[in-house]
């Protein structure tokens, strides 16, 4: 398989281990193992820790432990453990689904801009990919009429992502139902990348039910990376019909075989305490959202944004004549701030901002960004009209 470079991942790896103020991050401030233990009742902590320390690190249950799959299945309608496959993050879940569901020449409709995997992997398989575009002039809202124009009798798969990376857009319950009905009417399936599930935003939208709840043509992808702040566990999953799960599992035998045993056990702890984790995340998101809103207002002559309706990402527009990659590199190298270049998503004069970072780091990162923009102006960089 020949595949295009994953532009954002390449750029992130250049700087993410070196900068002090990473406010491009697509996830929430990570939890530690100790944080997970603190969610447990005090009298149980020692016993749980001891169990983890003494766990033989042999191979794990290949599709993911029955306990983890059962816990995750319970978060969907009419799902049991046979409807869940644990994967190496949502990225492997998507990869397995594309390679299981698609053949060269198939027609796919994928949301754009997007986490690049969602359209680059279908293209690499040889599919014809139509992009369902979110546009700034439309407030980055999903236009369902446009989707209807893109879907044809040949469409095999519709790929959606809600809440959306990188704009924070959300599909409503009515939207999700309409997309499902549209897919069913042409015999296609819908892959719902729900990596940002459970991450509601104050003043944002309510969550639509997961795509797998809509019926047999619906598939949901989830992960512990974003809503749980546990990207280092590399635990994601597919929720879908049992026969599709079996097919994806058969393909995964050739790729990663099984999840890490310790990671699976830590994932069980996290999912059991989901409400506590989500509560902790809401506090971070609320604080950073308030900070970003005040900062945008203070610098309204030069920056603007459409706040996220869900999840924790948004595109910030700046009003200076400097390409986004050049600005992002300058911020990283000279100001130790990471804001992802909009060009990685096809949007010039934009930077991607993540509101999941440690609030102190987040506020300092925005302050340094304002300083950089002021210094660029002082050095003669032209304002855009
Ligand atoms: C929309 C979306 N899907 C999937 C992923 C992959 O996440 P992970 O493999 O860490 O679960 C990401 C990561 O940024 C994402 O933003």
pLDDT confidence tier of residue 16, bands split at 50, 70 and 90: confident
CA distance 109 to 161: 12
Tell me the three state secondary structure of residue 92: helix
Q: Is 26 close to ligand 1, i.e. is its CB under 6 Å away?
A: yes
Asked if the model's pLDDT at residue 1 lies above 90, the reply is no
pLDDT confidence tier of residue 327, bands split at 50, 70 and 90: very high
Which of 28, 95, 226, 345 should be mutated for ligand 1, with most atoms under 8 A from CB? 226
Q: Is 115 close to ligand 1, i.e. is its CB under 6 Å away?
A: yes
CB 241 within 8 A of CB 217: no
- Give phi and psi for 351, each to the nearest 5: -130, 145
Q: Convert the pLDDT of each residue in 92-125 to its tens digit.
A: 999 999 999 999 999 999 999 999 999 999 999 9
Q: At what angle do helices 89-101 and 117-125 cross, to 10 degrees?
A: 30
User: Average of pLDDT values for 67-76?
Assistant: 98
User: Average of pLDDT values for 195-218?
Assistant: 96
Asked if the model's pLDDT at residue 385 lies above 80, the reply is no
Return the pLDDT at 17: 86
Among the listed residues 220, 142, 151, the one whose alpha carbon sits nearest the alpha carbon of residue 188: 151
Asked if the model's pLDDT at residue 7 lies above 90, the reply is no
How far does residue 223's CA lie from ligand 1's centre (Å)?
7
Look up the pTM and report it.
Answer: 0.96
How far does residue 261's CA lie from ligand 1's centre (Å)?
21
Q: Is 193 close to ligand 1, i.e. is its CB under 6 Å away?
A: yes
Asked if the model's pLDDT at residue 221 lies above 80, the reply is yes
pLDDT confidence tier of residue 223, bands split at 50, 70 and 90: very high
Computed over every residue of the chain, the mean pLDDT equals 96
User: Average of pLDDT values for 298-308?
Assistant: 97
The tokens for 293 are 């809103």
- Which domains, and CATH codes, for the chain? 7-32+276-378 (3.90.1150.10), 43-272 (3.40.640.10)
């Amino acid at each position: 398989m020949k595949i295009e470079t994953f532009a954002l991942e390449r750029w992130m790896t250049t700087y993410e281990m070196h900068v002090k103020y990473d406010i491009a991050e697509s996830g929430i401030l990570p939890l530690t193992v100790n944080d997970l233990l603190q969610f447990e009742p005090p009298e149980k902590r020692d016993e749980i820790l001891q169990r983890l320390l003494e766990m033989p690190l042999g191979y794990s249950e290949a599709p993911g432990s029955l306990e983890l799959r059962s816990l995750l299945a319970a978060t969907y309608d009419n799902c049991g453990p046979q409807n869940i496959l644990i994967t190496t993050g949502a990225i492997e879940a998507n990869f397995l689904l594309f390679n299981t569901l698609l053949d060269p020449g198939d027609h796919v409709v994928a949301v754009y801009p997007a986490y690049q995997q969602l359209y680059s992997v279908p293209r690499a398989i040889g599919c014809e990919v139509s992009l369902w575009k979110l546009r700034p002039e439309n407030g980055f809202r999903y236009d369902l009429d446009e989707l209807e124009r893109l879907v044809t009798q040949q469409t095999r798969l519709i790929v959606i992502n809600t809440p959306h990376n990188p704009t924070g857009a959300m599909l409503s319950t009515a939207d999700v139902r309409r997309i499902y009905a549209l897919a069913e009417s042409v015999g296609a399936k819908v892959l719902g990348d729900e990596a940002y599930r459970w991450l509601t935003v104050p003043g944002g939208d309510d969550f639509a039910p997961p795509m797998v709840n809509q019926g047999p043509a619906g598939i949901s992808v989830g992960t512990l990376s974003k809503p749980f702040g546990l990207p280092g566990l590399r635990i994601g999953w597919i929720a879908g019909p049992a026969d599709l799960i079996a097919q994806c599992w058969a393909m995964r035998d050739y790729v990663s075989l099984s999840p890490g045993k310790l990671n699976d056990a830590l994932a069980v702890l996290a999912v059991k305490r989901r409400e506590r984790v989500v509560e902790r995340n809401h506090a971070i998101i609320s604080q950073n959202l308030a900070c970003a809103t005040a900062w945008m207002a203070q610098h309204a002559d030069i920056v603007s944004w459409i706040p996220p309706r869900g999840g924790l990402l948004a595109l910030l527009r700046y009003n200076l004549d400097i390409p986004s990659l050049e600005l992002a590199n300058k911020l990283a190298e000279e100001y130790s701030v990471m804001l992802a270049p909009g060009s990685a998503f096809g949007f010039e004069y934009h930077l991607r901002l993540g509101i999941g970072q440690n609030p102190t780091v987040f506020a300092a990162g925005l302050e340094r960004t304002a300083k950089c923009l002021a210094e660029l102006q002082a050095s003669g960089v032209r304002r855009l009209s």
